[in-house]
Structure 1
Amino acid sequence: MLPASGFGAIVWSTMLGTDPPAWMGFLQVSILAALVLLAGASPRWRPLRGYFLALTALAAGYVVGDKVSGALTWEGWQARMFANTLIHAVISCGFLALSLVGSGLTRRDVYLVKGDMAAPSHLPRWVPHLPWSRLGPLLMVILAVGLAIQLFLTVHPDLHLAGRALLSLPAALAFAAINAAQEEFRYRAVLLARLGPAVGSTQALLVTSVMFGLDHWFGHPAGPSGVLLAGFAGYLWGKSMIETRGSAWAWLIHAFQDVVIYLLIAAAKG
């Protein structure tokens, strides 16, 4: 998971204080491609081949996406946010979807269905075992509160601009719908389907949640607190996928958080 995540970029930028070099992306793809070959040659590693292939496709999508993004000029933070989301939706998700060709996995296998939105949840003993029809809306609010606190401490939105920020609600809803869908596909749907059968759903859930957290170091929420918050949220969204056998709750809860992010950044940017 680490070569496919932002781990290398985080280490480079924090230790050297500069942007990661362009060759780092190609190195990550090479490492992952080597793992695909290793899994194909080793019976012990063969169950992980599909997972390694998905990570290789994802890393290659990032390299191409970065090239496309770097070749274009975006004016304003809204344009950059939408552009990055659309680039990932088309290129990164496209590469990842191509890695599924010949896999035999169905839409249901990769959670591209609604699922049972009232399925029972399986949380620690000290947490009431609510059905997802009740837990889902509750998590929307709880995660949004934590996210808002983190954003107030990091991007410093101006409450005097709240009215102006609300005018961007249609754009926020559009951004949230697209971004949540492409991130759930990238970070959870395919990877859980590929890794779960090999190592078990619990391990797969932990691995994908760490990856989701690491990739938010430079995003929103950002920094160490952003990694922890995104990782925790990713764990819950992945758990909803596994327990409901679908993506509906993961997408809805994720999209709600993205609306909060967009509006608070709008209040911070003016």
Structure 2
Amino acid sequence: MTSELEDSAPPQPATRRGTPSSVRTTLAGAFIVALGICAVLPIRPEVPVRTAIVGLVAVALIVGACVLRSAAAIRAAVFIGPLFGLFAVGILGGWPPAVTTVLVCALPLACLLFAGRRPALRPVVPWLARGSLTPGAPWLGVATVVLSAAALTAWALVVRPEPPEYMSELQRLPLWLAILGIVAFALVNPVWEEMLFRGVLLTELASVWGVRAAVVLQAVLFGAAHFAGFPSGPVGMMMAAAWGFVMGVMRVRSGGILITYLVHVTANAVIGTLAVLILR
């Protein structure tokens, strides 16, 4: 699994004078992980002070990445900074969720592509590729969707959780319209999630800490991001992390995020439909 992504990892700039390469590498990876943590922390309108503190931490990390002059950390900062900012402004400002989601799917990527005008930061999006369909990819994708749907169904039947607000709204609609809403959400939401976790975080961490560490860390961050999701809590976080690990493996083997995006869309659509049916 190691060679595919390491061969395509962006070259790093020469070591800054006076700073050992191993120290810069360690710091760069730490900055990327810390930025990832900022990106996955929940933003709640009732506690804007916490969001402001996280925002200040993110700004400090971005400045630190620039001072360190690590191309990997700067690329991560260029993407995660606007992503966090848009979510913070959208949620705290009461923007319609659809507007916020569309913006976070487009603006962070646009910032990253603009940053690619600087030769020292190229290539900025080597992960934005169709990739290749490996022989086992279809079976692994189908297994991922089936097992995740079965696990969520079992969790929902045992825990009988209160459905999230958006799901409660869908349940008030006719079933066909609710499923249409689920499919629309499933098509859009995985765009920014795949770009963040299997794109930026996996690629940039792999360039400084290696592929194996990158696959594990992006999965852990993916799980943490779903702590308050559906499924929720520690069990939901572990389920999402396991799912993110498999997606990371698929991303490395294929060389692009198209396959993981398609699997993500399919799984979200199936899981969302099952959730609406089970929790009615």
TM norm. shorter chain > 0.5: yes
Partners of 2:153 and 2:175 lie apart in 1 by 14
Whether the 8 Å contact between 1:29 and 1:60 is mirrored in structure 2 is no
Cα separation, partners in 2 of 1:173 and 1:118, compared to 1, 3 Å? same
Matches within 5 A, 1:117-196: 117-119=133-135, 131-152=136-157, 153=159, 154-155=161-162, 164-196=174-206
Partners of 2:201 and 2:211 lie apart in 1 by 11
- After the TM superposition, list the runs of 4 or more consecutive aligned residues in structure 1 that deviate by more than 6 angstroms: none
Provide structure 1 residue ranges, at least 5 long, that are not aligned to the other structure: 41-45, 75-79, 120-130
- The correspondence for 1:199, drawn from 209, 219, 224, is 209
Whether the 8 Å contact between 2:72 and 2:208 is mirrored in structure 1 is no
Report % sequence identity: 18
Q: CA deviation at 1:137?
A: 1.4
For residues 100-141 of structure 1, give each alpha carbon's deviation from its aligned partner in whole angstroms, at most 9, with x where no partner exists: 44322275x21x22222234xxxxxxxxxxx22322212221
Name the count of aligned residue pairs: 238
Provide structure 2 residue ranges, at least 5 long, that are not aligned to the other structure: 1-32
- The correspondence for 1:104, drawn from 117, 122, 125, is 122
Counterpart amino acid of 1:183?
E
Cα separation, partners in 2 of 1:210 and 1:88, compared to 1, 3 Å? same
Residue aligning to 1:37:
66
Cα separation, partners in 2 of 1:97 and 1:155, compared to 1, 3 Å? farther
Counterpart amino acid of 1:259?
A
Q: CA deviation at 1:95?
A: 4.0
Partners of 1:99 and 1:236 lie apart in 2 by 30
Residue aligning to 1:255:
265
Relative contact order, CA 8 A, sep 6+: which one is greater?
A: 2
Counterpart amino acid of 1:149?
A
Counterpart amino acid of 2:123?
L
Partners of 1:84 and 1:269 lie apart in 2 by 27
Residue aligning to 2:34:
2
Which is further off, 194-203 or 215-224?
215-224
Partners of 2:152 and 2:79 lie apart in 1 by 30
Whether the 8 Å contact between 2:247 and 2:260 is mirrored in structure 1 is yes
Counterpart amino acid of 1:145?
A
Whether the 8 Å contact between 2:182 and 2:272 is mirrored in structure 1 is yes
Q: CA deviation at 1:253?
A: 1.6
Q: CA deviation at 1:242?
A: 0.5
CA RMSD of aligned residues (A): 3.4
TM-score (norm 2): 0.70
Counterpart amino acid of 1:29?
A
Report SS of the residue matched to 2:50. Answer: coil
For residues 218-257 of structure 1, give each alpha carbon's deviation from its aligned partner in whole angstroms, at most 9, with x where no partner exists: 2233221221111111111111010111223211221122
Counterpart amino acid of 2:191?
A
Whether the 8 Å contact between 1:85 and 1:179 is mirrored in structure 2 is yes
Partners of 2:115 and 2:156 lie apart in 1 by 35
- The correspondence for 2:73, drawn from 26, 51, 62, is 51
Partners of 2:213 and 2:207 lie apart in 1 by 10
Residue aligning to 2:219:
209
